[in-house]
A and B are shown apart, each in its own frame.
Chain A
Amino acid sequence: MIDFSLTEKDQQLLDQVRAEALVCRKYARYYDENEGEFIPDVFPEADDFPSVYAHLAGRTENDTSMPVISMLLSAGQTWGDYSVRLRRAKGGLGNAALRASGTPEQYEKWKGLTLAMAITEPGCGSDPSKVQTTAALDGNEWVINGEKIFVTTGCKAEGVVVWATTDRSAGRAGIKSFLIEKGTPGFVVARKEKKLGIRADDTAAYVFKDCRIPRANLLGGDESISKQSSGGFKGVLKTFNMTRPAVAAGGLGMAQAALDFTRDQLREAGIAIEYGGRVHGQSAAVAKFLELEALVEAAELTILRAAWLSGESKSNNLEASVCKAKTGTVVRQVTQGCIDLLGPMGVSREHLLEKWFRDVRITDIYEGTGEIQRMITARELLGYTRAELS
């Protein structure tokens, strides 16, 4: 049955997340202004809140499906703050790649480590088939050379899954993923990146110089070399397919925070939001607010749609891109618009609105830019291959 209501259990869960998010919000400004500090793994208030995962137990098929509720949970968390969590979950993007592309032995060996994922290079972003980092086989070792940037959790991770090419002339097929543990000679964390927003997040740049790793660190094992299309490539794209809605949901939570803040401030100033639809005599501020609110609703529903499909084990490649493209645009419009509505107050660092405006900007860039998402959407709609539309 088509339904957009939350069950009691859903609602309790989201209330819990929001309550926790409010506590996190207290730390938001500090870690934004002190970019060099790392967020602790556990905050003292963590004891006051049982883990969200505890609440997830006991859900039945009458409750909203896991993928859908997870999107609302993500949005609920980032509604508090993008980076601060009362307790930090272990694991990174690389762990998902290990799960998707590693052999069972590899998975067992490294599953306990927090693994980052290093794909982007100074000269290659949206088109990862142009990876320049090389991997050359020398006896029983791979020798890795190259530079990686924008590595999420890169400073704190205990290891990293790195994309490198074994044969530059082979393009995508030559790209494999390798697991490299921190402390391996030739693997240097060059710097922690300084960013517009999500400053508390740990984003690193790596340099690999004649970095030697065992032959067994090729994800998927030696047989992945002979494969026509790389296990690493396909495996990771599959990972991205699942994470596009999640990334969109993270952005959505911040846009909702901005909208809620703006609504409260307008109300205090005596400007109430009405849905009567009066066009004549309605203030421009109310009209604008209503437009922004509708955008957030629209984005949220595209995310829930993509997540719902995955919960039904239905293909959602198109919808994952639709929601990422839509939300990426919406969060920019909404946070920019909220500042417009509140004027100079909106840019004051006494409030979090200016931070949401900065933090949210990444949503339309990482996990595939808005343009890439439109490309995927268009290819799916038009039935075009990469060669026909790029």
Chain B
Amino acid sequence: MISFQPTEEQELARDALHEFAEQAIRPIARECDETSQVPESFLEATWQLGLVSTAIPEAHGGGGEARSPVTNAIVAEELAWGDAALAVAALAPAAFANAVLDQGTAAQRQELLPLFCGERFHAASLAWIEPGPVFEPLLPRTLAEPKGHGFVISGAKSFVPFGDRASHFLVVCRNNGGHDAFIVPRDAAGLTISETEKHLGLRALPTATLDLERVELPAAARLGGEAGCDVRRLLNHSRAALAAVMTGLSRAVIEYAIPYAKDREAFDQAIAQKQGIAFKLAEMHIETEAMRWLTWKAASQLEQSRDALRSSHHARAYAADQCMWVADEGVQVLGGHGFIREHPVEMWYRNARTLGVLEGTLAL
């Protein structure tokens, strides 16, 4: 039954996260970008929100609630409205934990999920993106080969969130013509972690490159055990998550551009009263709405375990294009001021471009 009605819980989560974004994210976003740092205090504050632990079964120490990609999409939009870099930082551990929750064996869940149910922030992340010009999420060049009862992994991963501190990485590889994901502990022999990478956008998010030089892993490190895992499903969750983040960023741009355009005068009139600007703002709103509904549709199909390949593809691809466009026009509405780092729109412009190419960092 087609409905756009969030549950009462989802409405509460949205309101609470919006307040958090307003009070705990917006005030620090610019400084985090300038210093390329994410404060410990911020990560601890997000941890208290239970973004990761809520959906972990009580048996493993979590909140025991059903994992809801729709709720997660709503939450991600609000966090990203605050700041995309800090939103990705807050949500990155959940991508790892949710993959284990969704597709891990009982033993993997038993071992790993309790890590996310403690009092303190715990970092673990997806390692999917690869360096170089031709990264394709479903054609990774990182290779897993059987050796004895286990596997040997060779390749390189980049843009790995919390490379500086994550206890585990979920490394997506090619294996025997198909795909697999392997749980690689930080101290695995053959794993070299680079210094923190430097990027155009999402600067506050610490990311690293992993070099995997014949990393030997036991069979039990393969996500899902002997059955392996559904990497496509993981990709669908990742795409929908990015779409949610890009929706939040787009909304931030519009909400900033509107009061500016109403205040700024040119030729004796607020620029918002001119069709050239007013229509731009209307289009920005229209596209942000479209992004959100595409995201919700994908998230809802994921939640109902329907085939979300198409919807999550469209959600991400559409949001990537339109979020870039909205951020671009946001800079344009502010004119010269849009280019100055006193206003956030130049940061959003950089973040939008970065998010558009980040498949494989997040998951709903």
Binding site for B on A (CB under 8 A): 1-7, 10, 62-65, 68-69, 275-280, 290-291, 293-295, 297-299, 301-302, 304-305, 308-309, 312, 319, 322, 325-326, 371, 374-375, 377-378, 381-382, 384, 388-389
The yes or no answer to B310 lying at the interface (CB within 8 A) is yes
CB contact list, B336-357 vs A, under 8 A = none
Instruction: Identify 6 residue pairs between A and B in the complex whose beta-carbon atoms are under 8 Å apart, listed by A's number.
Output: A1-B3, A3-B2, A277-B239, A302-B290, A304-B4, A384-B273
Interface residue range, chain B: 35 or more
The yes or no answer to B228 lying at the interface (CB within 8 A) is no
Given contacts A305-B293, A377-B286, 9 further A-B contacts (CB under 8 A): A2-B5, A6-B1, A64-B3, A277-B235, A280-B134, A293-B314, A299-B290, A308-B2, A375-B279
The yes or no answer to B136 lying at the interface (CB within 8 A) is yes
Nearest-CB distance from A300 to chain B (Å)?
9
Tell me if A64 and B1 are in contact (CB < 8 A): yes
Tell me if B296 and A2 are in contact (CB < 8 A): yes
C-alpha spacing A62/B137, complex, angstroms: 39
Query: Which residues of A sit under 8 angstroms from B283, Cβ to Cβ?
Result: 325, 374
Tell me if B4 and A308 are in contact (CB < 8 A): yes
C-alpha spacing A5/B313, complex, angstroms: 18
Known: A278-B138, A279-B136, A326-B290. A305 touches B278 (CB 8 A): no
C-alpha spacing A280/B141, complex, angstroms: 14
Nearest-CB distance from A7 to chain B (Å)?
5
Could you give, for residues 276-314 of chain B, a 1 whenever the CB lies within 8 Å of some chain A CB and a 0 otherwise?
001101110110011101101101110010100111011
B306's nearest neighbour on chain A, judged by CB, is A5
B293's nearest neighbour on chain A, judged by CB, is A301
Query: Which residues of B sit under 8 angstroms from A298, Cβ to Cβ?
Result: 290-291, 293-294, 314, 318
Q: Which 4 A-B pairs have the closest CB atoms?
A: A301-B293, A298-B290, A378-B278, A377-B282
Known: A62-B1, A278-B138, A382-B272. A297 touches B294 (CB 8 A): yes
Query: Which residues of B sit under 8 angstroms from A378, Cβ to Cβ?
Result: 272, 278-279, 281-282
Query: Which residues of B sit under 8 angstroms from A371, Cβ to Cβ?
Result: 279
Tell me if B2 and A5 are in contact (CB < 8 A): yes
Tell me if B289 and A382 are in contact (CB < 8 A): no
Query: Which residues of A sit under 8 angstroms from B45, Cβ to Cβ?
Result: none
Tell me if B4 and A305 are in contact (CB < 8 A): yes
Tell me if A302 and B136 are in contact (CB < 8 A): no
The yes or no answer to B6 lying at the interface (CB within 8 A) is yes
Known: A301-B293, A301-B297, A325-B286. A312 touches B5 (CB 8 A): yes
Tell me if A277 and B359 are in contact (CB < 8 A): yes
Query: Which residues of B sit under 8 angstroms from A64, Cβ to Cβ?
Result: 1-3
C-alpha spacing A230/B235, complex, angstroms: 56
Nearest-CB distance from A143 to chain B (Å)?
39
> Which residue among B1, B283, B296, B311 has the maximum number of chain A CB atoms within 10 Å of its CB?
B1
Nearest-CB distance from A316 to chain B (Å)?
11
Tell me if B281 and A381 are in contact (CB < 8 A): yes
Query: Which residues of A sit under 8 angstroms from B310, Cβ to Cβ?
Result: 275
C-alpha spacing A308/B297, complex, angstroms: 14
Nearest-CB distance from B163 to chain A (Å)?
24
CB contact list, B1-39 vs A, under 8 A = 1-7, 10
Tell me if B272 and A3 are in contact (CB < 8 A): no
Could you give, for residues 144-160 of chain B, a 1 whenever the CB lies within 8 Å of some chain A CB and a 0 otherwise?
00000000000000000
Query: Which residues of A sit under 8 angstroms from B301, Cβ to Cβ?
Result: 4-5
Contact of A294 among B3, B254, B294 (CB under 8 A): B294
Nearest-CB distance from A340 to chain B (Å)?
18
Query: Which residues of B sit under 8 angstroms from A290, Cβ to Cβ?
Result: 313-314, 317
Nearest-CB distance from A297 to chain B (Å)?
5
Tell me if B279 and A374 are in contact (CB < 8 A): yes
Tell me if A3 and B1 are in contact (CB < 8 A): yes
C-alpha spacing A381/B253, complex, angstroms: 14
Nearest-CB distance from A62 to chain B (Å)?
6
C-alpha spacing A388/B4, complex, angstroms: 33
> Which residue among B10, B136, B291, B311 has the maximum number of chain A CB atoms within 10 Å of its CB?
B136
